[in-house]
Amino acid sequence: MRTLADTGEQVIVFMATRREAVRFASELASELGRPAAATIAALSGRGHGRLVEELLRCLKGGVAFHISDLGEDARLAVERAFRFHDSEIRVIVATTTLSQGLNLAADAVVIHRLRHPGEPERPYTVAEYRNMAGRAGRTGIAPRGRSIVIAHGPVDAEQKWSNYVTAVPEPVRSPLTGHDLRSLILFSFAGPVSDLNTVSEAHVNAFLTWTFAAYLNDVGLSVRSFSPGRISSAMAGLVGEGLIEKVDGGYVLTALGKVALRSGLSVDSVIVIAEALRAVEATQLNRTTLIAAAHLTEELQDMRFSLPTGHWRKEWQTLQQSLRLQKIAEPLLDRLLGDYEPQSLGAVRARRSLACLRWSRGVVLPMIERELVQHQFVEVTSTGPVEQAARRTSDVIEAVIDIALVVHRGADLGALPEILPAQLELGVPAGLVPVLRHLHRRLDREACLDLARDGFDTARAILDAHERDLLAHVDDPDLVTALLAAAEKADKPDDADEPFDFPPPVD
């Protein structure tokens, strides 16, 4: 690595796990010792949390890590800096997520190992290897790049050469072969068939017969089949769970089935949420209860919020008390926590729910992290990726709200259906959400929280403020002008009727 850096090359190192990426970046930074001053300045002095503090230590040696746990601001800062060939960041240590859908290249790529972690480990595909190796080279700048695979002896080197470097990519496979048949049946109610009053079992059979997955089965490349017997059994199950209803001439979606179809949640997740919310009174459908219900879903099962590794009894009691103070519905709390035992997935769900709740209310990340690890033996990655968990919860929470309104028809949720998804995405107080909706430039979370702490937490408060006071928090005259314009639009009485449309991050 030192040789590559000394020759002026920028390098991406691929590690198998997030923990390995952080650890190796730290070790390499202590060896290289070339500070990335500009990126350090861009990230310093903000309440980013433990992981960014570790990133700042690595940047002092000219090394960054890029993993999915990093917050958006930190990831963008690293990506922007690395794109310049004379960047102070000479090495990025990353997991394979960097090779997927992100246009970031280097002069050289080093691949540490070619197996996915887990029990048992699973070899990378040739396509995955090529995605990583393909980051080497810069079109229009360098005629070629270098990809280096770490091998342990001549036999290992020969195997990797034949299995990856010169190998032919695997045949294309259909993701439907591993998909829940019940979800596929619900998909058959969409598209042109949705114009029909009812969908028959014959329509469902025809829909699945024309999929690529069915073709692979017909030609002997897949063992997954869509037999009429399996389809009939799965449809009976959907009827029993209340997602479709049998009527004259076929089947129709129920209100719950329509939520399942448009949300993209798994059938099991929809069933679990509906069952949990049926046990709750309509008056208990508050922010905490809805967020906790979201964390019962398969889609949010994230083991990065590690299992309890410290005083699990104290943590269990603390999580229970904290969620009760936030007025979670008791039946939902019982379901969330599950059995009282060490290594409990319920404690992981509760910790994740509490983190998302705090984030949505605008609590600064270091405070959230301290609360999450107060009863654990702490590592840099112990807290879990709070920002990512909240944003993924934002994707699910609208479906949870829709299910709540199906289960409890006529329930009054106030402004939660409009405000809660945005608060989970942005992590800001509710009063700033309408302002940010109209702000077509990016204002980072820390600046929003700085404004809120000094009382500029609503459109009216921002309009009444002196520009000098706003500039002290935003530090950009043009952005202050845009903020005032957004606050003026948000302060209009009819503002609540306009759709939410937050601008995506701009690189």
Strand partners, 252: 245
Average pLDDT over residues 26-49: 82
Say yes or no to pLDDT of 303 above 60.
no
In percent, how much of the chain has pLDDT > 70?
90
Supply the pLDDT for residue 366: 86
Average pLDDT over residues 260-283: 95
Instruction: Indicate the residue type of 160.
Output: K
Average pLDDT over residues 291-303: 89
Say yes or no to pLDDT of 60 above 70.
yes
Contacts of 106 (CB under 8 A, 6+ apart): 9, 10, 11, 12, 82, 92, 135, 136, 138, 145
pLDDT tens for each residue of 438-468: 998 888 888 899 999 999 999 999 999 999 9
Beta strands 115-116 and 122-123 are antiparallel
Say yes or no to pLDDT of 72 above 90.
no
What pTM was estimated for this model as a whole? Answer: 0.85
Say yes or no to pLDDT of 376 above 70.
no
Supply the pLDDT for residue 175: 77
CA–CA gap between residue 271 and residue 405 (Å, rounded): 14
pLDDT band at 379 (very low <50, low <70, confident <90, very high): low
Supply the pLDDT for residue 505: 45
Q: Could you tell me if 432 and 457 are in contact, meaning their C-beta atoms sit under 8 angstroms apart?
A: yes
Average pLDDT over residues 120-143: 82
pLDDT tens for each residue of 161-218: 999 999 998 888 887 777 889 999 999 888 666 666 788 899 898 888 888 888 887 7
Supply the pLDDT for residue 193: 62
- Which tokens belong to 237? 């199950």
Lowest model confidence (mean pLDDT) among 114-128, 132-146, 240-254, 492-506: 492-506
Say yes or no to pLDDT of 380 above 50.
no
Supply the pLDDT for residue 214: 81
Supply the pLDDT for residue 167: 92
The helix/strand/coil state of 44 is coil
Say yes or no to pLDDT of 490 above 50.
yes
CA–CA gap between residue 46 and residue 37 (Å, rounded): 16
